[in-house]
A and B are shown apart, each in its own frame.
Chain A
Amino acid sequence: MAAKVAGVPARPPAAVTLSRRSAVLGLAAGVLLAGCDHGDDIGSPDSGRTTTTPGPSSSSPTPTTTTTTTEQTPDEQLVDEVVGQLNGAIGVLESARRRPDLHIVLTPLLKAHRQHLKALDGESQSPSAAAPRATLQDVRRSEKQLRSALVDAAGNAGSGALAKLLASMSASVTQHLDALPQAAR
């Protein structure tokens, strides 16, 4: 009659902290990268760019053209797409939060999305100051779209660690949607 489990299922052993670098490069679970730099060295949106630099002499009539092609992996592309979706959702949230009655209600969700961006090493985009005030209905619509995108991304991720992270973000959106005021659903 040995007691085996103390009431709750055993949690998975590895505590994985993902930076975007570790996520998209598919580093194995258990690799702890907390505290590492968050430099975006895995392929920026302008990868594959062509740079034109002056020749050896500023008087040279023909510049030297160097083409730098940085191929993004499918997971890197996927993360970039998710970051874009997140920024879109954040824009809607920030617009809706200008309404005094929604400011407090939407703050937890906005904070969660900022953490999501941070986990992906994504950069936030400043919302347009002229954007109209979104309604709670707009927020719900936007969040449902984001959740759908996150589910798809989690299903398609090549890295299991990235899939886990994206699935968790999707579950977070579900929780926050459920916690929104009933009347506004």
Chain B
Amino acid sequence: MSSELDALQTTLAAEHAAVYVYGLIGSRTSQTAEAPLYDALRAAYEAHRERRDTLIGEIAALGGTPAAAAAAYTPPPGLDTTDGRYAAALALEKGCAATYAALVGTTSGSRRSEAIELLDDAAARELSFRGAPEAFPGDAYPGEAG
């Protein structure tokens, strides 16, 4: 149980970071001039915010104290260009995918099923940030590059 709780806390920490960084990238993205990126960022922001809130409830239900967001996060580099914003968003989502893959490996039953869905969603979302299909999203088999 504790390893599952630890994995949920790690996932929550990832969601806190994702919400912050997606918000940051979105604030530097033009809604009109960069509409596809803006829309993808908005969708990602909302999805991760919802997951963060769900995780907080799940951790509390397990008797844990949900990890709080950090006071600040270091902005990813390159946010002053469109390409840089795409790259930052892709790296962020890949990080989330790796976290979800780890969650799959440390859970069972319905919680694992949820983690599988999260990994699947993150993998699909990577494509909206110019990601390319990989053989092993989430770094589940690092011996083989995507």
Contact = CB atoms under 8 A, between A and B. Distances in A.
Interface of A: 1-12, 15-18, 29, 34, 108-109, 111-112, 115-116, 118-119, 151, 154-155, 160-161, 163-165, 167-172, 174-176, 178-179
Nearest to B131: A175
B124 A175 contact: yes
B127 A178 contact: yes
Contacts of B18: 9
Nearest to A15: B142
Contact of B74 (A3, A10, A15, A178): A3
A32 to B, nearest CB: 9
B95 A9 contact: yes
Contact of B95 (A8, A29, A169): A8
Chain B: interface size category? 35 or more
The 9 closest A-B pairs by CB, nearest first: A9-B14, A168-B140, A7-B76, A171-B123, A4-B70, A164-B105, A12-B102, A160-B105, A175-B133
Interface in B12-50: 13-15, 17-18, 21
A118 B144 CA distance: 10
Nearest to B93: A8
Contacts of B88: 7
B75 to A, nearest CB: 6
A172 B135 contact: yes
B141 A165 contact: yes
Contacts of A115: 135-136, 141, 144
Nearest to A23: B141
A167 B133 contact: no
A112 B134 CA distance: 7
B59 interface: no
Contacts of B115: 167
B73 A4 contact: yes
Given A164-B102, A174-B123, A1 B137 contact: no
Contacts of B70: 3-5
B71 A160 contact: no
Contact of A8 (B76, B112, B127, B139): B76
A118 B97 CA distance: 22
17 contacts: A1-B72, A7-B74, A8-B94, A9-B13, A10-B95, A15-B142, A111-B135, A115-B144, A155-B113, A155-B116, A161-B105, A165-B140, A167-B115, A168-B119, A168-B136, A172-B137, A179-B132
B66 interface: no
Nearest to B101: A164
